[in-house]
Amino acid sequence: MKMRIQDLLVFAALLWRDVAAADIYVSSSGSDTNDGSASSSPIKSIAAAQKAVRNQLKRSSTENVTVHLAPGVYLLSEPLRLTDQDSAKSASVKWIGPGALLSGGLEVTGWTAGSQGIYSASVPVGTKSRNLYVNGQAANFARRKVSNRKDFTYTSSGIKWTNAALDWISSTAGISGAEIRFINSFTDRYSPIASAKTRELVMKQNAWYNNNWGYDHVAKPNADFGVWVQNALALLSDGGQFFLDSAAGKVYYKPLAGENMATAKTYLGVLETLVAVGGTYDNPAHDITFQGVSFAHTTWNAVSDIGYVDQQTGGYICENKTYTPSNFESVRPWWCQMPSAIQISAAKNVIFSGGNYTQLGAGGIGIGNDPNAHLSGVGLGASYVSIQDGYFSQIMGNSITAGGIRPDAHHPPDNRMINSRIDISNNIFYNVSTLYSSTVPIFVSYVQYSTVSHNDIDTTPYSGICLGYGWGSNDAGGSSEYVNRGLYKYQPQYSTPTISQNNALDGNLIHRYGYGHTDLGALYTLSKSPSTYVSNNYAFDSSGYGTYTDEGSNSYIISGNVLMSSGIWSAVNGANTGNNTYTNNYYRNGA
């Protein structure tokens, strides 16, 4: 057979297609005028790398693309938003980078010493942030503890007191614009201050009204873990505290013992989102992997304006209004979710493997949350998403939030909204939920065929792993408790089950949990989830519960767990907590 040279070339091209893979090289010391096709001519910015990926996908949508991120810090000026445009038709796009860090921060340098051991540095006027990170650790707000919250009386407009020992509050310079934080049994509430009068604070609305509504609230906490007045320069007293004067473009910080501000690495978190992987239900983002890439330095500014009307595990009242008629149940179906630094929704076959997730000012990774927690505006719809081998520390909210809490999450009108096949495994969580302390390392709401396995959770203030949401109120037939509370005047009493089923919390190690709250467990469930396993987990070193099947927890198979904390090993609470089977658990009988 004789082949012409043209035929040979076509043949070679076909062959090449089959095996070809494109590589794009990126380095923080590169240049955006490079094309990035070789490691000797790397692209500099993540934004230019994304363009290079898109150009490559136009050339071929069947070749794998690997973006090699050289070690270094990549300061993002805006979030990296990945859609189906950033996905190959029938191949995968991999972003790999051991040692590469995507940062949403503003590096702060040039600290100068002032009085009382307080240092300051200039930042651009108007810089907004609620988070300063020093040598990898979150600084605290400039703050002072209220000796006894029982000295306060709570009115519809604010706080009053008669004890002279509290008069420092109204005389604090900058008190209008500061805020108060109240840590309760299972909520951690923030309310901004409008102004001060004699022995009185006028609080900003509608946060104040809503923070005194419902359960475990400011005026009626189920437990008291302290109240702080915070976020005014005049309150900066202890090492590890900071204050940002946005109007003046100045940040203040008092170092901890041993910290040297000439060499300390300091960042203000300024971006709220780092990476948003999100398509649409018609055109999902897909086949995207991040391997060994690290993420840091975000913030969440909404709290400064509307407070944090916390309802636990990152759910909060987000609307700046008061509700009429005033029934707390009317708003339960419409709570928002705290956003995460990394967001994945309307997406499939997405892997985040390895890497460090630290110094994140709200959530860490949000998977298929409600639309309000996604920059793309399209929530839910995550399938075959895997978060594995990551190290999580210094995350202010939930480290990982999978699933939504609104009606579309539990009774989706479109099957493409269902969150399924989510795998969270082999991750380490150390000292997380460090600011919004009623959040948790892993919260999984309405999902199916999903697994949380072999994670190591060490040091966290509230529960360890939460599975399920809705307190049973959205399960088929509803809940007598929520009939009594009047919820069904505001939402359906569903006759069909939620999508939750066939999940597993398996083989996790959970220790030093629950040090900052009460009413919590290493393994905390809510609502019905048939064929769902809570198995082979080991929990110890806590006064919290082992398993906690709270309201509506139903149809779980709880087996092979070792529950050695001093709280009740298998606490049960509320209506419809039936049909759970307990086999082969080993436990110590707690209080």
Q: How far is the CB of 87 from ligand NAG (least distance, A)?
A: 13
Shortest distance in whole angstroms from residue 14 CB to ligand NAG = 13
Binding status of residue 555 toward ligand NAG by CB under 6 A = yes
Judged by beta carbon, residue 48 or residue 138, the one nearer ligand NAG is 138
Say if residue 11 is exposed, middle or buried (CB neighbours under 10 Å; 0-12, 13-18, 19+).
exposed
Cβ nearer to ligand NAG, comparing 222 with 431: 431
Q: Are strands 179-183 and 188-197 parallel, antiparallel or unpaired?
A: antiparallel
Where b means 16+ CB within 10 Å and e means fewer, 307-316 reads bbbbbbbbbb
The whole-angstrom distance between residue 296's C-alpha and the CA centroid of its chain comes to 13
Please report whether residue 148 would count as binding ligand NAG according to CB under 6 A: no
Near ligand NAG by CB under 6 A, which window of 91-99, 212-220, 264-272, 414-422? 91-99
Q: Which of 85, 280, 459, 543 binds ligand NAG (CB under 6 A)?
A: 459
Q: What are phi and psi of 328, to 5 degrees?
A: -55, -35
Identified binder of ligand NAG from the candidate list 531, 584, 586, 588, rule CB under 6 A? 531
Please say which residue, 63 or 423, places its beta carbon nearer to ligand NAG. 63
Helix H segments across 456-507? 480-485
Tell me the closest approach of the beta carbon of residue 84 to ligand NAG, in angstroms. 17
Site for ligand NAG in 477-506 (CB under 6 A): none
Can residue 361 be called a binding residue for ligand NAG (CB under 6 A)? no
In DSSP notation, 74-99 reads: EE-SS-EEE-GGGS-SSS-EEEEEEE
Does 292 help bind ligand NAG (rule: CB under 6 A)? yes
Q: Which of 28, 320, 388, 493 binds ligand NAG (CB under 6 A)?
A: 320
Q: Which of residues 157-196 bind ligand NAG (CB under 6 A)?
A: none
Told to check if 461 binds ligand NAG by CB under 6 A, we report no
Interface mask toward ligand NAG for 394-413; x: CB under 6 A: x-------------------
Q: Which is nearer to ligand NAG, 65 or 166 (CB)?
A: 65
Contact between 64 and ligand NAG by CB under 6 A: the answer reads: yes
State the nearest-atom distance from the C-beta of 529 to ligand NAG, in Å. 8
Q: Which of 172, 205, 498, 565 binds ligand NAG (CB under 6 A)?
A: 205
Which 418-437 positions form the footprint of ligand NAG (CB under 6 A)?
A: 431, 434
98 lies in the binding site for ligand NAG (CB under 6 A): yes
At CA 364, angle to CA 73 and CA 564, rounded to 5?
125
**66 binds ligand NAG per the rule CB under 6 A:** no
Q: How far is CA 566 from CA 161, 288, 335, 550, in A?
A: 38, 43, 33, 18
Residue 579, interface with ligand NAG (CB under 6 A)?
yes
Question: What is the rounded CA–CA span in Å between residue 533 and residue 505?
Answer: 6
Instruction: Taking the CA atoms of 322, 324, 326 and 329 in sequence, report the sign of the dihedral they define.
Output: negative
Considering only 111-119, 266-274, 351-359, 460-468, which stretch makes contact with ligand NAG by CB under 6 A? Answer: 351-359
Q: How far apart are CA 570 and CA 591, in angstroms?
A: 11
Binder of ligand NAG out of 305, 377, 415, 586 (CB under 6 A): 305
CB nearer to ligand NAG: give 434 or 451.
434
User: Quick check: 496 and 468 in contact, CB under 8 A?
Assistant: no
CB 233 within 8 A of CB 173: yes
- Out of 10, 12, 21, 248, the only residue in the binding site for ligand NAG (CB under 6 A) is 21
Task: Please give the Cα distance from 123 to 389 (Å, whole number).
Answer: 36
Take residue 520 and report the two structure tokens written for it.
Answer: 């919590």
User: Which two structure tokens, joined as six digits, stand for 552?
Assistant: 């509506």
* CB-based burial label for 202 (10 Å; 0-12, 13-18, 19+): middle
User: Which contiguous run of DSSP H or E holds residue 420?
Assistant: strand 420-425
Q: What are the structure tokens assigned to 297, written together?
A: 């330095």
Residue with smaller CB distance to ligand NAG, 138 or 465 = 138
Dihedral angle over CA of 38, 44, 46, 47, nearest 10: -100
Q: Report, in Å, the least distance between residue 584 CB and ligand NAG.
A: 16
Q: Which structure tokens are listed for 273?
A: 């989102």
Task: Indicate if the alpha-carbon torsion angle 75, 23, 97, 380 is positive or negative.
Answer: positive
Return residues touching ligand NAG (CB under 6 A): 21, 62-64, 91-92, 98-99, 137-138, 205-206, 292, 294, 305-306, 320, 354-356, 391, 394, 431, 434, 459, 530-531, 555, 557, 579
